């Protein structure tokens, strides 16, 4: 069996609640990267785009930085956790202010795949051009 390598990608501070992002993430968890990107193209939720970007980033890291084959990539981990919360206030009647929090999300995507098959080395071209012998007189 071929060797498997794992590559990570993080998306931190996504301005969507983690509960909403995890619904979309559960659609593509443990699938191939190609299938996941097609599924996320057709998801009508706003959280589909950040999840798609995180998966595409992991795919690019695996192919460009680690030399893995794009066709063999599988999503092994797609973790959605709570990010930072920003405390804000909404104006209310009679000079009051009601507090609320803007919740962000952190995502971890781990992709596993096999390295690209290396091409065999080309044979040195010894006789490409016929040698012309010069006659000296």
Quick: pLDDT tens for 102-115: 999 999 999 999 99
Q: What is the pLDDT of residues 66-102, one digit of tens each?
A: 999 999 999 999 999 999 999 999 999 999 999 999 9
| pTM of the predicted protein model | 0.82
Instruction: Give the per-residue pLDDT at 132.
Output: 67
Number of structural domains found in the chain: 1
Question: Is there a domain that residue 132 lies in?
Answer: no
Question: Is there a domain that residue 15 lies in?
Answer: yes
Asked if pLDDT for residue 2 goes beyond 70, the answer is no
Instruction: Give the per-residue pLDDT at 129.
Output: 63
Question: Is there a domain that residue 135 lies in?
Answer: no
How does DSSP classify residue 118? P
The domain of 28 spans 5-113
Query: Are the beta carbons of 55 and 36 closer than 8 angstroms?
Result: yes
Q: Nearest 5 degrees, angle CA 123-CA 127-CA 131? A: 160
């Amino acid at each position: 069996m071929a060797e498997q390598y794992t590559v990570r990608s993080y998306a931190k501070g996504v301005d969507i609640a983690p509960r909403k992002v995890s619904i979309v993430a559960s659609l593509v968890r443990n699938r191939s990267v190609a299938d996941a990107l097609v599924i996320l193209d057709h998801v009508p939720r706003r959280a589909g785009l950040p999840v798609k970007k995180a998966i595409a980033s992991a795919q690019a890291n695996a192919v460009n930085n680690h030399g893995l084959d794009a066709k063999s990539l599988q999503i092994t981990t797609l973790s959605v956790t709570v990010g930072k919360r920003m405390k804000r206030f909404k104006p209310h009647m009679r000079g009051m202010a009601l507090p609320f929090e803007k919740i962000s999300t952190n995502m971890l995507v781990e992709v596993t795949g096999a390295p690209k098959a290396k091409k065999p080395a080309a044979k040195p071209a010894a006789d490409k051009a016929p040698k012309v012998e010069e006659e000296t007189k």
